[in-house]
Amino acid sequence: MRQGMELLESDNGVEFGFCYYGSWRAGLGLLPGERKVADLTSFIAETARAERMKGHFGRVGDVVALAGEEAPSQDGRRLARYFANKLECAQIHMDYWREAVLAEAEASAAQAGSKHASDLVRPHALTMLEFARQYLLHYQKAMLDRTDEGMLASYWLVAGQFAYRYWNPERYQESGIFNSGPTGTDEHWVDTPEEIKVVTPKR
């Protein structure tokens, strides 16, 4: 297990970031003008990085699975299965991320109106939603406590809603997800790197 964790930390080529919708809302964008990308080379490098990290997580998972086979106790085997499951979830997330990069690349390469770019992005966004569902279904196969329940909610409210925003923008806007606070409150976005949303009672 120690060897697996050391192998995991040997490659820090991916940053997941905090699973908070505001940070994705502020820092990511699949349509032209939402986020600046240098050139096509950066897209290629990003997809290659996603594939490399997926392979890296797979190799770490193999080591952890071996630890589970050799564990002398039931708790040890359970812990190894838990970590192996999370590494498999990380592989699914890399598939999600690669699809997001492809969506952004196609939309940017089109250099057309936002409507045409949106049409190009939607199929990718639907695939992203499917990967988000796969992630959630697989994650719940190995859960230890309420922290895991929070992770399930957090991933859907971030990765799931981010993809949904592009797949069905009309329904996303109509539902007002993350765009309006409870009745009787005021809200504003704080200008920070994570663009934090503050909801306060009306005065």
- What integer pLDDT is reported at residue 190 of this predicted model? 46
Amino acid letter at 92?
I
For residue 81, what pLDDT is reported?
93
Q: Count of domains in the chain?
A: 1
The Cα 203–Cα 200 span in angstroms is: 9
Asked if the structure places residue 163 within a domain, the reply is yes
Alpha-carbon span 74 to 93, nearest angstrom: 29
- Position 57 scores a pLDDT of 92
Q: Answer yes or no: is 81 within a domain.
A: yes
Residue 62 is predicted with a pLDDT of: 93
For residue 198, report the phi and psi dihedrals to the nearest 5 degrees.
-115, 125
For residue 82, give the nearest of 145, 33, 127 by alpha carbon.
145
The pLDDT assigned to 193 comes to: 43
Question: Does 14 map to a domain?
Answer: no
Residue 203 lies inside a defined structural domain of this protein:
no
Is residue 201 a part of any domain in this protein?
no
Per-residue pLDDT reduced to its tens digit, 67-126: 888 888 988 889 999 999 999 999 999 999 899 989 988 888 776 556 788 899 999 999
In a domain, 202, yes or no: no
Number of other CB atoms surrounding residue 38 within 10 Å = 8
What is the Cα–Cα distance from 179 to 103, expressed in whole angstroms? Answer: 24
Look at residue 128 and tell me if it is in a domain: yes
Q: Structural domain of residue 28, as residue ranges? A: 2-9+19-196
Position 25 in a domain: yes
Reading phi first (left if > 0) and then psi (alpha if -120 to 50, else beta), residue 178 is in left
- One digit per residue, the tens of pLDDT, for the chain of length 203 reads 888 888 888 876 655 555 656 566 656 788 877 765 545 567 778 888 889 989 999 999 999 998 888 888 988 889 999 999 999 999 999 999 899 989 988 888 776 556 788 899 999 999 999 999 999 999 999 998 888 998 888 888 888 888 988 998 887 766 655 554 555 555 554 444 444 455 455 55
